[in-house]
A and B are shown apart, each in its own frame.
Chain A
Amino acid sequence: MNFTPPLLAPAYPEIFLLMALSALLLLDLVVPDNRRFLTYAYSQLALVATGVLLVGGATGHVFSTFGGMFLDDPLARSLKVVALLAMALVLAYSRTYNQRHGLFRGEFYVLTLFALLGIMVMISANHFLVLYLGLELLSLSTCALIALQRDSSVATEAAMKYFVLAALASGLLLYGLSMLYGATGSLYMPQVANAIASGVADPAILVLGLVTRRAGLSFKLGVVPFHMWVPDVYEGAPTAVTLFVSTVPKIAAFAFFVRMLVGTLSPMVSDWQSMLVIVSVLSMLVGNVTAIAQTNVKRMLAYSTISHMGFLLLGILSGTVGGFAAAMFYVVAYVLMSLGAFGLILLLGREGFEVNSLDDLKGLNKRSPWYAFMMLLVMISMAGIPVSVGFFAKLSVLSAVLDAGMTWLVVFAVLMSLIGAFYYLRVIKLMYMDEPSDISPLVAEADHRILMGLNGMAILVLGIVPQPLIDLCMFSVTRSLGSG
């Protein structure tokens, strides 16, 4: 049997991250509890080094290795860099919270980095089995993270829900994959694409597989009707974990949607397009409408996430390169906003107190004008008000849909974001117009203030000069998907 060892260079970032992780597992044993900061610093360092490898190794071309299972293209590189940045922010924002809530442990860092590895694997997956394994890696780590606060019964309940439903979703995904394998005889994405394009595969089986497979993937994205876990988990999980769950995995979700639907199933565009329309419409409807009735900040943001994911799908379902670039822009913008929102909730908490109810945000402007202003930026961006990155994200997605000729969908989406504006603006009203129920001034550490400032400014600056990010998205998408 002939076998040539695979080329490792394209996968250096992943390999390095895994090695750094394994080292962390060992190192963490000898770090005493009162010097846990070392673990934190080490994790950040590992992220930085991985980022350096990623950026340094970027060529702008498409490579594949491990017998074609691993794909390294500009899309993967840029998404991984975004994921790394988001992860670094997650770790930074959650540092104080973790110290206060007994999560400042090696496991937190090990598990988040494992989840990141899963995300990177998914982003680069060119084989459905690898995609599945990456997904499982992510799910399992996430589930453990949610349950990490053992003494909290809500966290345990949330972890239980996540675990069971994720297992169900994985089952559906596997079922769909088996259908795909049955219809095409391969799990390599390019071969599957060939089989579908040449008409060898049976369309009915393909559609059956498509439905179940997409259901499995939609779970991670949290779109209707696979969204039920989102509010419960967001609310129940420790906020630091919520911050993670609401941001970085969405990048992977976007990547696998694009890889699966565009790279592989592009001949079946009419089938998955209408499927995505239904899901996206339902997500925007349920997400925006239900968010209004929420009194808990985390739940409100959970529903907001659902509606954002509906918007994200709009870009994908347009089926054009411009649409995918718009969706990529959207996912980056969303990650920025979500980091800001949950990051602020994290930072506003203090010893023995967490921001849960919307009322806790009352009069924030009086207590900390800086944080209130950052929250204002995040909220106007989420609502899609101009001069924020959220506005351009919505605009580009909607114009992609308009180009695809679905005017009614655009009208619907605009209506929905109008409804959505209500609850975002309510937060602003609470912060600026209402009297605080708790008048103690907020103290925050310097690194949090600076990072949050950068986060907020990024939302603002990308809203004023979005072109570099638009260009990056366009470049990644055309280079990676345009040819294939």
Chain B
Amino acid sequence: MSMNSLYLTVPLAPLAGALLAGLFGRAIGRTGSHVVTILGVAIALVASFFIAQDVFAGHEFNGDVYTWIATEGVAMHVGFLIDPLTVTMMLVVTFVSLMVHIYTIGYMHEDPGYQRFFSYISLFTFSMLMLVMSNNFLQLFFGWEAVGLVSYLLIGFWYTRPTAIYANLKAFLVNRVGDFGFLLGIGLVLAYFGTLDYATVFSQAPAMAGRSIELVSGSPVSLMTAICLLLFVGAMGKSAQMPLHVWLPDSMEGPTPISALIHAATMVTAGIFMVSRMSPLFELSETARSVILVIGGSTAFFMALLGLVQNDIKRVVAYSTLSQLGYMTVALGASAYPVAIFHLGTHAFFKALLFLAAGSVIHAMHHEQDMRHMGGLRKYMPITYWTSLMGSLALAGIPPFAGFFSKDAIIEAVGASDIAGSGYAYAAVLAGVFVTAFYSFRMLFMTFHGKPRMDDHTREHLHESPWVITVPLVLLAIPSVVAGMVFVEPMLVGQYFGHSIVILPQDDALHELKEEWHGVAGFVLHGLQSLPFWLAIAGIAMAAAFYLKWTRLPGLVQDMMGSIPTLLRNNYYFDRFNEVFFAAGARCLGQGLWKVGDVFLIDGALVNGSARLVGKLSERIRRFQTGYIYHYAFVMIFGVFVLMSLWFVRV
């Protein structure tokens, strides 16, 4: 089997599974559906492994497999760019996706939309793979929109719930805002580079670095900054950065496997991946990176704070996802793209693990999500407990768990960066460490420790989840523990990414790290002496104090804080603001435009007016069609006569 067909297999196998399960779901039944989709994703995973081996043996690939349309000047291809960055994403996506597929068998087994669900998640896997494997902006955009679409479908999977419909509409609208910027960015690339191919754009980019354009006449803007900021707006939408983060917490309305796959591990990291992929462009605009730093830092800290006050187990994990995405974004801003991808990978494992564990708990609790009604689940669900513990330790950044390495590297990188905004971002991520440790253990303690707070009926039925749920948990726990140790050296210090990521020497925030590198053990030892580690320990200790020892303390603290908890519980009033300002404002504007523009101008004058005009004209012309041969003949002769006279006059 040639490499080319192997590349094609990776996205097409899940697509085939999705089509089979989607179109013939009724025919092949429930078992048939999960067999074909799991098989498709498993094939993709195995193929990805082989491709990864091949890539690290030095065989990178960049080529088109199919030309969709070629018009003058612009050719639109479907093509693959296979390099270390791509295969990393491919492995993460297919692995997590496979785990989620298996998990779903147990989690959704009573749902009437079983086949539909499997079809959607396989379709999602296909779209995500198309996104990461693309070698051009068009296919990237296709994947971008396709994952957005599947995400929309899955958030609203239980479409009879009004909240689910509200949430998917919200996700869709907010993502439109981001996609609009993204599309404008791609448009700018096409306009100034004349091509959509990555390689060509990247090779021409340095020459374009000095160009400026006038978006508003009279005020020139650097072309690169404009492109990068617009592309980043897209990333903000998809990767839920402030202020476009509002859709992600609501997206928890979808089934839990989806929250794990799409809204934690893969789709939301598409923005991070995209910026890393575009590193040759982002390296050319310091302004854009400063903006990224500030937005990422804000997201990392403020979203973590929100995690403190949530009582819904899934929402805690959701806000933690937002905060961790902020960390990755900060790394991008600091030009530490490899670190961002590193954190993306470790985060994918432990966050998927935490979500699936939360799902396992929810499943056992008969779809109860409120942590105030849990407690003491440790003895009923040992596997879930231990895997959650590992996930939480990784999330809090305790060595030697995976999260420690990536998070510590981010903090180091931001500290080493000296562009505008890096100081603010450094402070934000440092403070974020404490908060992260606090909320993640708050969740662990409230759920698994202490006295059981559920009703008797639920308690009687408590039991560990079936193997299809626990096996993915265990399989995800393994990389959550070891992925950091294994990959920290090649990814951060070595030449893991090769040429797929470009960092200019003067921006290389990892430089210091590389200089002082003394092996994994040295990194851990260094980490143990540094501030973040003690902040994390402090966070855990405080959580233990609050929720294990003196359980009345949280209430007292809340009372002391005044209005801050209310502010947090209301998500800083972002939603309120959006509703009042954007939604109501848009409705108001819409009403106005509708009444004046639509009803009066368009409906009244244009549509009905023109329709009436056309209708009248139509009646008039129709009368020519008399049905008499001699009229027809006369029209023909007359036509010849007119044409002839016209040219007679001319010649």
Contacts and interface: CB of A to CB of B under 8 A. Distances in A.
Interface in A48-79: none
A172 B632 contact: no
Interface stretch (B54-62, B127-135, B348-356, B611-619): B611-619
Contact of B69 (A228, A229, A289, A467): A467
A462 to B, nearest CB: 12
A292 B636 contact: no
Interface in A140-194: 160-161, 164-165, 168-169, 172
B638 to A, nearest CB: 7
Given A292-B615, A467-B67, A467-B70, A165 B632 contact: yes
A1 interface: no
B635 interface: yes
A204 interface: yes
Q: What's the interface size class on B, roughly?
A: 20 to 34
Interface string B608-629: 0001001101110110110101
Contact of B625 (A231, A271, A419): A231
A225 B639 CA distance: 6
B633 interface: yes
B622 A165 contact: no
A475 to B, nearest CB: 13
Interface string A258-281: 000000000000010001001000
Contacts of A226: 636, 639
A419 to B, nearest CB: 6
A289 B612 CA distance: 11
Interface stretch (B255-263, B510-518, B640-648): B640-648
Contact of A208 (B70, B624, B627, B644): B644
Given A211-B644, A215-B643, A290-B621, A232 B651 contact: no
Contacts of B72: 322, 399, 403
A293 interface: yes
B631 interface: yes
A467 B635 contact: no
Nearest to B618: A293
Nearest to B647: A207
Interface string A281-312: 00000100111110000000000000000000
Contacts, number: 90
Given A286-B621, A293-B615, A466 B647 contact: no
B651 A289 contact: no
B636 A225 contact: yes
Q: What's the interface size class on A, roughly?
A: 35 or more
A212 B631 CA distance: 19
B640 A172 contact: yes
A330 interface: no
A203 interface: yes
Main SS at interface, chain B: helix
B101 to A, nearest CB: 28
A114 interface: no
Nearest to B636: A226
B622 A219 contact: no
Contact of B651 (A169, A204, A215, A231): A204
A433 interface: no
A465 interface: yes
B621 A466 contact: no
Nearest to A164: B629
B217 interface: no
A215 B639 CA distance: 8
A322 B639 CA distance: 29
B643 A278 contact: yes
A226 B70 CA distance: 36
B563 interface: no
Contact of B643 (A275, A293, A470): A275
Nearest to A418: B610
Given A286-B621, A290-B618, A290-B621, A160 B638 contact: no
Contacts of A292: 614-615, 618
Given A165-B629, A290-B621, A419-B614, A228 B636 contact: yes
B68 interface: yes
A278 B645 CA distance: 13
Contacts of B631: 228
B71 interface: yes
Nearest to A286: B621
A399 B71 contact: yes
Given A275-B647, A293-B619, A165 B614 contact: no
Given A214-B643, A226-B639, 16 more contacts: A161-B629, A161-B632, A207-B648, A215-B639, A228-B625, A228-B631, A289-B621, A290-B618, A290-B621, A291-B618, A292-B618, A293-B622, A322-B72, A422-B614, A466-B69, A467-B70
Top 10 closest A-B pairs, CB basis? A225-B639, A228-B632, A293-B618, A211-B644, A215-B640, A292-B618, A290-B621, A207-B647, A289-B618, A211-B643
20 contacts: A164-B629, A168-B636, A172-B636, A204-B651, A208-B648, A210-B647, A211-B640, A211-B644, A215-B639, A225-B635, A225-B639, A228-B636, A232-B625, A289-B617, A290-B622, A293-B618, A293-B619, A422-B614, A465-B68, A467-B69
